[in-house]
Structure formats: C-alpha cells, structure tokens
C-alpha cells in the first residue's frame, strides 16, 4: 500500500522561502542514522517533510539535489517546527496569489486552499528508479490518505467480525469511530500496515527491556469500548495514555463530552499530546500523574477506562466515579487478567461483563509484581500474584525428583480456548500460582509429553514441598488430552488433584456460565460476602469470584496430605 520512492536528483520545484528558514532554525545536511526514513506529513508542494528515523523525529527540507534537516530529537519539538514552516510556506504562496492545498495540520486550523498542479517529478508521484545520490534519502511515504483509509477500513471490518464472534458486537457508533480515527498518526514510528495490524504497537520499554507502554491491539480496544457503553456528553478518564484510545473515546462522547487521558510517564504523555494534536483531537486533555490517586481535576467521571493491568481498585477511582458510572479495568486476580466492566451496587462494585485480557502492568503506587521463586537458576520459577509461599526453601531441589504424570480423559481441540479453567483452578487450590519457564533455548525446562506442552497454571500442595502444573498430550488428529505433571514427595497427589478439577470443569463449566465478579471494600466482613465465593484479599479491596449454580466448597480439591 505504501510507496517507496527515490527522489530524483534532477527533480526541481518552484520554491518559496519562509523567513523562518533563514533565522529561527539551524539546518544541517541530512545524514542517515540507520533504519527506514518515514515521512508522515509533507507541506503543500513538497518543500518540507516531517520525518522519523531510528526513533528520532525531525524536519527535512529539499535543497536542490539533496536534503537538509533541523529539529532532530523529540517528537513534539520536531512537530512544532514543521507546523511553523509549513504554515509560513503556505502563507508565502497565498501572498503571491498562488493557490495550494494546505497540509492536514493547517486544515485543522481552518486554513483553506485549492489543489495546485503538481510538478511532473514531484515526490508525491511515482518516479523512475535512479541510483541514490549522496544526501538523497530513500523515503517511505506514510501520508497517502487513500492507502491509510483502505487499511483502516480493512482493520475495522476484521475487528467487527472478531468482536461479533466473541459476543461483543460493535455498536454503530463504535465501528464509526474506528473507521474515522487515523490510527497510523498515533504510531508514527511504524509503517501504516503495522499500525493497522491486529496487534499491539510498542511505545516504550524500560531500561531493562521490559515493555511499559503500548497501543493495545484494536480488537482489545474495541471490546473495552463495547463494555463501556459510552454515550455523547459523557465525561471519561482514561488511565494509561497513548492517544489513540482517547481519540476513539472522543468520537463517542462528541463535542458535548470531555475526555481526559493520564499516565505516570511524562514522556508517554508528551507523545500522546503530540499525536492527538496531529490527528486533530486538540480538545482531549492530558495529564501526568499516578493512577493510584486518579485525577480530581475533571471528576466526577461517567466512565473510567483503564488500559493498563491493575492489581487492585484504588479508593480514588470509586470516589471520582459518578453515581451511575462504570469502570472498565483489566484486573489481575491470582495472576489471571479479566477486563471487567464494574458498576456501583450499594457499598461495592459488580461486574456487568467480563472478557479475557492482557495488558502491560501498572506502575507507581498501585504496582504489584507478585513473588517469583526460582527453582532452577533463571530457567524455571513459580510466580504468586496473590499470596505467597510460607516456606520457599521447602521446594529447593524439587525439580531433581522424578516427575509424576496424571491424565484426565478430557480432550480439547489444539486451538480450542478454555479461559475459565484457570479461574476454576485458582478457586480450587489455595496454592495456585503460575509456572514461569524460559524456553528461549528450546528446552521446556520441565516434563512435557512428546508432541504435548505445559501450561503456566500450577499449584503448590499444602505442605509446600511439591507442585504440579497443567499439561496436554496428543490424543488424535488436532486433539489433545488434558493432564498434569507433578514434582516433589506429593507431586503425584497434587497432579491427580488437578486432573480431578479438570473433570469438574469439563462437566459443569466448559460450556456453562462464567463466574460472577464483585469488588468489596477491604474492611467488608466475611458474612457480607457471597456464600461459597473465592475471596482474594488485595490492598484496598476484596475480590469475590462466584460460580453460578455450584456449591463451591463441595467441589474444590481436598487438602493434599
């Protein structure tokens, strides 16, 4: 869809020289730093280009047979320089009585013009391939409006199909928002094809390489918007900023509503501000702050949209929520994440919808990384998201024992999802945890049947000296049987206990109702909580997970002796 073109050395255009060129900016010869050069916007007749390369942003100016650059560095700085130059350049044309079409930035500021005749060899036109001359970069142009619109429509159609299959059909207004907001302008570091793919776009990693900010996959964002049920005129707080999701929300609330996007990272907020401005969503507000405390300035909110993985629900969110408001949040429970749509119900919150989700984890005062206990160097470990081992040393050397296997007779298709099984296991075992294995060298690290695999859902027995994890083995064409492998003196027993819970899940919940979720203040007495529910204690709240039509305590695994 994109056009890769070589600028011809002989290609010349009538040039108009704004005063800013000569005094305000320092121009230097363009020198590549590696990686593709991407041009996101071009002034009316191609004189100036706002470009990025290797994660840096800058402005290019054509000078005869080569390019010069200025403003290399920050996104916002380069954007401001480009807007000033493009605007002055357009004004020069108008003063000379020449009519041109201003670039999209200027159109949003109310500038008008008429399309000028493009020179034969303008870089907006396909040109013959010539050997690249020094100072003349190979440019990937990302500002083709028709190409972006086609990609956007294809993405939206795919998203709508997926959401309908998941039971979250897109309302007309949500689909319209996806077909309107230019997603590629919120991902200037990647190609339009990548920006409109059904995948995340990385925004930032920590110094240790950990992903700390992303633009979520469009289908994930669509489901959250369906969960939110946003109407015109609403006031919405987005926690975890990137710009694109806030722009979608802005389309839904309309001119009478208000959207505020906040993030703990000032650089992420600066980038979001620049992207929102570039896409024409200047009225979306942005703020830097710790999500643990919400944002009082624009409260109360009809909707609080959380786009980072939260371990708890801080009191500030409930306090800043309108009486009939809704919080949509990817909440971690025993290390299992669900996007919950929570509404007030007397003294607590109840989930009116839930869907499987995965987000980068929240930073700041509300962060919780759990506890990771390594069993074999850095190769194998057990992570506890809620709770912890009382005697971690009891598992020392446990992987040196002979593994025990147990099989359930329950089969599933290799591509068949079973999202509620992990939640059922979490309810059944007080020692539920996640098996973490580094398979980068191809070694599974723990016992796996030929043609099978291990899953991260595990449990430690009550004595704390043995554990087992869910696994599968081939059981026919495209089918696997569910089972468990265990290690330690009680490894066989806890593997058998996992297998028994797989059978219970298969019988009662595989094709049945999902559990109900509720969030209660931390001081809520046990007698006020739903009978038979799994209770997860957090810092500020208690989370209850109730399984419909089942007396939960009668079907959980007995203690492993």
Per the CB < 8 A criterion, the answer to whether 144 and 39 are in contact is: no
- Cα separation, 181 vs 292, in Å, equals 29
HSE value, Cβ hemisphere, 13 Å, CA-based, for 222: 31
Phi, psi (deg, nearest 5) at residue 139: -115, 135
Q: What angle do CA 322, 327, 332 make, to 5 degrees?
A: 150
Round to whole Å and give the CA distance between 351 and 353: 5
Q: CB–CB of 281/303 below 8 Å?
A: no
List 216, 337, 353, 471, catalytic entry: 216
Residues 500, 506, 507, 509: is their CA dihedral positive or negative?
positive
Burial class for 485, CB neighbours closer than 10 Å (0-12, 13-18, 19+): buried
Between the CA of residue 401 and those of 183, 375, 431, 446, 450, what are the distances in Å?
A: 52, 12, 20, 11, 20
User: How far apart, in whole angstroms, are the C-alpha atoms of residue 219 and residue 274?
Assistant: 24
- Which tokens is 218 given? 């469009």
Whole-angstrom CA distances from 225 to 166, 252, 387 are 14, 9, 32
505 touches 424 (CB < 8 A) = yes
Stretch (H or E) spanning 150: helix 145-165
CA–CA gap between residue 227 and residue 21 (Å, rounded): 50
Give me the helix-helix angle, 145-165 and 218-228, nearest 10°.
Answer: 60
What torsion, rounded to 10 degrees, do the Cα atoms 123, 124, 127, 132 define? Answer: 30
Q: Catalytic: 250?
A: no
Q: Alpha carbon 338 to chain centroid distance?
A: 14
Nearest to 540 by CA among 289, 265, 228, 293: 293
Tell me the catalytic residues: 216
């Amino acid at each position: 869809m994109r056009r890769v073109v070589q600028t011809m050395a002989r290609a010349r255009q009538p040039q108009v020289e704004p005063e800013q060129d000569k005094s305000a900016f320092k121009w230097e010869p363009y020198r590549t730093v590696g990686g593709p050069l991407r041009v996101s916007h071009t002034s009316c007749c191609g004189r100036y280009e706002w470009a990025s390369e290797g994660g840096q942003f800058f402005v290019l100016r054509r000078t005869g047979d080569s390019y010069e650059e200025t403003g290399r560095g920050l996104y916002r700085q380069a954007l401001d320089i480009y807007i000033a130059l493009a605007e002055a350049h357009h004004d020069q044309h108008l003063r000379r009585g020449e009519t041109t079409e201003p670039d999209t930035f200027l159109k949003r500021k109310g500038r008008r013009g008429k399309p000028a005749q493009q020179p034969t060899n303008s870089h907006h036109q396909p040109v013959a391939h010539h050997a690249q001359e020094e100072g003349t970069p190979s440019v990937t142009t990302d500002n083709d409006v028709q190409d972006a619109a086609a990609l956007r429509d294809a993405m939206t159609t795919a998203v709508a199909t997926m959401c309908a299959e998941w039971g979250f059909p897109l309302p007309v207004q949500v689909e319209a928002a996806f077909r309107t907001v230019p997603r590629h302008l919120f991902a200037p570091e990647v190609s339009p094809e990548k920006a409109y793919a059904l995948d995340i776009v990385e925004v930032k990693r920590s110094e240790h390489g950990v992903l700390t900010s992303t633009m979520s996959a469009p289908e994930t964002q669509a489901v959250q918007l369906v969960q939110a049920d946003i109407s015109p005129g609403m006031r919405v707080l987005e926690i975890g900023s990137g710009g694109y999701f806030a722009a979608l929300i802005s389309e839904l609330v309309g001119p009478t509503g208000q959207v505020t996007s906040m993030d703990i990272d000032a650089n992420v907020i600066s980038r979001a501000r620049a992207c929102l401005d570039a896409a024409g969503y200047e009225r979306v507000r942005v703020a830097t702050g710790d999500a643990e405390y919400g944002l009082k300035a624009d409260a109360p909110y009809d909707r609080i949209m959380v786009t980072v993985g939260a371990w708890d629900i801080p009191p500030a969110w409930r306090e800043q929520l309108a009486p009939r408001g809704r919080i949509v949040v990817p909440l971690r429970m025993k290390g299992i994440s669900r996007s919950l749509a929570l509404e007030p119900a007397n003294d607590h919150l109840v989930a009116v919808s839930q869907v499987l989700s995965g987000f980068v984890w929240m930073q700041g005062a509300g962060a919780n990384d759990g506890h990771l206990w390594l069993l074999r160097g850095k190769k194998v470990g057990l992570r506890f998201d809620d709770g912890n081992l009382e005697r971690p040393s009891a598992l020392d050397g446990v992987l040196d024992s002979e593994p025990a296997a147990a099989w359930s007779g329950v089969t599933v298709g290799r591509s068949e999802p079973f999202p509620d099984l992990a939640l059922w296991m979490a309810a059944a075992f007080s020692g539920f945890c996640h098996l973490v294995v580094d398979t980068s060298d191809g070694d599974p690290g723990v016992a796996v049947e030929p043609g099978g695999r291990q899953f991260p859902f595990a449990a430690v027995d009550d004595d704390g000296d043995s554990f087992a994890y869910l696994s599968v083995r081939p059981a026919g064409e495209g089918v696997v049987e569910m089972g468990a492998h265990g290690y330690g003196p009680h490894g066989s027993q806890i593997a058998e206990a996992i297998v028994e819970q797989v059978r219970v899940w298969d019988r009662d919940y595989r094709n049945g109702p999902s559990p109900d979720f509720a969030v209660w203040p931390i001081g809520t007495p046990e007698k006020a909580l739903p009978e038979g529910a799994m209770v997860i204690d957090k810092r500020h709240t208690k989370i209850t997970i109730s399984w419909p039509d089942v007396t939960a305590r009668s079907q959980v695994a007995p203690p492993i002796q």
